[in-house]
Amino acid sequence: MRNLESMKQQGQPGGKRKSLAQIRGLVAIAGLYGGFTPSYPPKFLMNAQTFCDNFPFHIVFDKDLKIKQSGIHIQKVMPRLRNFDAKVPLFFKINHPQIEWNLESINKFINQQFILETKKSMVATEWEERPMLQLRGQMVWVKEFDSMIYLCSPRLESLKEMEDRALHLSDIPLHDVTRDLILFNQQKIAELEIGKQLEMKKEQLHRTMKELESEKAKTDMLLHSMLPRQVADQLREGRKVEAGEYTQVTLLFSDIVSFTTICSQSRPIDIVNMLNSLYVKFDKLTTVHDVYKVETIGDAYMVVGGLPVPVETHTERIANMALGMIIMSLDVTSPVTKEPILIRVGIHTGPVLAGVVGKKMPRYCLFGDTVNTTSRMESHGVPGKIHLSDISARRLEGRGFQVMRRGEITIKGKGTMTTYFLEGNANASEDELLGTGIQQNGDYSRQSDEMKYSPSKGVNAGGDNYNSPESLIPMYYPDNVNENKRPSITTVTPFNSMSNSRPPMTSGDVIIGNVKVNERTTRK
């Protein structure tokens, strides 16, 4: 009415009709909700058996707590519930709320959820070793029967709990929300389990990938010990490795003096240990000077410089390698004499053919007259000396190497040849030759006498053992190959070993053993 008066005062047309319509609507709503009268059937259409079957979890007890009725599933768990003269506290204890078993206390908390738990002494025999069944539900007082009805359902959250209590999903009524709760929780548990398994599989896959990478590294190391890295990578990728002709490389052969005698007077294990000790040291020298070890046959050790990646300093690399081999051989003793062994080294420079031979155990082999000539340099050499061919000696001219002319000798299958002995390198220390120097800003510094390599002790800078690969420092060469950058291929024109022509002498050159050496040559 107040709104109506305000509408009239404001002079709005039709205000009276709208107000009456609103009032009628409010009256109609009040009639629907305030005047509702439910309709009941003239008699109860469900008998006791049907009620107990469809509500398998319920208990009816009177004011004296005597059981009058119970659901069939509760009776399965507790068969003594069929005795309707027994009292409820004999079978159940109240977990929630914390009250005593009497009607007055129950009425005080009638609006709360009640949780009852079966007593172990009253359950069936097969239930004694299982977890006790808990029931949750509502207490409802029925004044017509002067009794309390406890409508409940099992307190379960997963199929595992159902299994532990020997219950089935079909034991729970369809109208009970416990079914949905169990299925929902089971779905969540399954999702968590799947997620956990995925994490475990992910961790396992991560470990497997690490192990695979480790095994791959080992495989690569083994493969690269048999074949050059560039060739091995091509084979691994399934590409065919074409044979190649190298116009200029330098080869080295070495053998052990009196090896046949040593074998005849020593045990096989001693021979193997001696060769292994020697070849391990030689192998590390190949890393220091970046040359390729072709193979070992018995006491013969074969190394090549300038392939598979051509470099201009292949002769210097092999010469430095040979000097390092002479030094390192002093650290290996003969099992017969217990004295340091002696080796012969032969070096020759020339063209070769190279390619992969074989399929089951492929080998990178070298062919050509250069291989034969190098073998002759080694077999016609002198114990403890490095025997050079004329062409190799020419390539070392002006590079600081100390070379002594041996003279003309008769080489089997080659006739008369002028050969030389390599005595040393004036521009490199033992530490540089062995890879045990201290490198600073790309240059090597000489170690002190007490820290430098000793053939008898095998000690280098820092006191580390030479056998530790981490302690080796590659020797510097102007054309060192960067692992991440392939150098441009340079073809070196070989000198004619049959010609007597030599490069012209320049100011500052001297002759050491009939070989020209430039005194102003310094290491970069």
Q: Residue 244 is encoded by which pair of tokens?
A: 């190649």
Entry pTM:
0.53
Q: Distance between CA 508 and CA 501 in Å, rounded?
A: 20
Find out whether 422 and 319 touch, Cβ atoms under 8 Å.
yes
Find out whether 327 and 206 touch, Cβ atoms under 8 Å.
no
Q: Residue 250 is encoded by which pair of tokens?
A: 């330098």
Residues contacting 320, CB < 8 A, separation 6+: 289, 425, 428, 432, 433, 475
> According to the model, what pLDDT value does residue 130 have?
86
Geometric angle at alpha carbon 140, from 118 and 168, rounded to 5°: 40
Q: Residue 9 is encoded by which pair of tokens?
A: 């005062």
> According to the model, what pLDDT value does residue 124 have?
84
> According to the model, what pLDDT value does residue 147 have?
92
Q: Residue 367 is encoded by which pair of tokens?
A: 């062919």
Q: Distance between CA 412 and CA 409 in Å, rounded?
A: 10
CA 139 to each of CA 59, 107, 439: distance values in angstroms, whole numbers, following the listed order:
10, 9, 90
Q: 454: helix, coil or strand?
A: coil
Q: Distance between CA 478 and CA 359 in Å, rounded?
A: 37
Chain centroid to Cα 263, Å, comes to: 45
Half-sphere exposure of 348 (CA within 13 A, CB side): 27
Q: What is the pLDDT along the chain (524 residues), one digit of tens a residue?
A: 444 444 444 444 555 555 666 666 655 555 555 567 878 788 877 888 888 888 888 999 999 999 998 988 888 888 888 877 789 999 999 999 999 999 999 999 999 999 999 998 888 887 778 888 899 999 999 988 899 999 998 888 777 888 788 777 777 777 777 778 878 888 888 888 898 999 999 999 999 999 988 888 887 777 776 777 777 777 777 777 777 788 999 999 999 999 999 999 999 999 999 999 999 999 999 989 989 998 888 889 999 998 888 889 999 999 999 999 999 999 999 999 899 999 999 999 999 998 887 777 777 888 999 999 999 999 999 999 999 999 999 999 888 899 999 989 988 888 899 999 999 999 888 888 998 865 444 444 444 333 333 333 333 333 334 444 456 888 889 887 544 333 333 333 332 333 333 333 333 333 333 333 333 333 32
